[in-house]
A and B are shown apart, each in its own frame.
Chain A
Amino acid sequence: MKLWAYRGVTMFRDHVETDRHLWDRVQADDASAYETIFRRHVTAVHNFCAHRVGSYDVADDLTSTVFLEAWRCRRRLSVAAAGASPLLFGIAKNVCSQHLRRSKRQLLAIRRAPVESISLDHSSQVAEDVDNEKDLLAMRDALADLPADQRAVIELCLIGGLGVDAAAEDLKIPAGTVKSRLSRGRARLAVSLAEINASRTE
């Protein structure tokens, strides 16, 4: 496949090229540069989507949609000095919102379903996956309870892995404000999570 033709070069350049430089090549239709950006950010985007929709599996599909959308819009989008994460998170936010709107009814049904009614496979892996998804759903609900400004900082720093300075640049607020929102958001998240977990075990 021609997309892979310059893979070796890309892998070498991986260590020296910033997202911004790579994006210049992406804008010139260089799919190998885009693959490097993909490898750098796929985990962060996947986690971002999983926390928005409450499912790691659904996040698989949404992640590919995010990267396809970023490619589609490559000519009119630009990458900031902080890297491609803010750009990709912005797209992910829209993609997740679209998904949630489309599947609102199904999600409500899932949330209404008593957890006890889920038939568990005897495999420990399956049980572990179910636990992980339950934790993720609790986290999603807790995040939804946060004020928008705190949620944005939590999503960028604690889920997306952005540093404080990069998040400050993306949100156009001082780094000190990021830190304080992070701190307040974290505390509030812990309280919300405890309440959600308590209500689920009742």
Chain B
Amino acid sequence: MEALVSFFSNYMLYILMGVTILTAVGVVYSKNAVHSVVALLLTMILVAGIYLMLDAEFIAAVQLLVYAGGIIVLFVFMLLLVALHKDEALRLFNTYTLISLGLVAFLVIMLAVVFFGTPFGPAPATVTNIVKGGSTEAVAGTLYSAYILPFEIASILLLVAMVGAIVLTKERGKS
């Protein structure tokens, strides 16, 4: 039992990261768009697990609510409304697939070189500030004091997005 607990506390994050990458690849390479949505749902849940492991419980809950509960449902609705095209199965990818893959691999390798060259120091074993009084209370205290102006701007952004979505999708004037 002890060995199991220490194994998971040491390697759980790596397991989560590996499975997340697999499901993310599933989002991009699925033939069927419904499979892509399911893979995206799995990815979001696994990322919420990663947040949990990083002492961000509130962010993990928000991730589950906003992504798995809201955005995925929007995607599924859209997928059902937009009837999949007949020639979808013919050609899945664009013309420049190989060039794109090469460019992305180049980007990843260059960034990896930069990251390995930067001394970040060891990760702290215990944290105090971000879990003070529980993750939710700590986040709320910072959000509503130091970051109150961005918070209000974010609410305006959401209002604009709501109005924009309604205007974009409503029937144009029948007059």
* A and B together in one complex: no
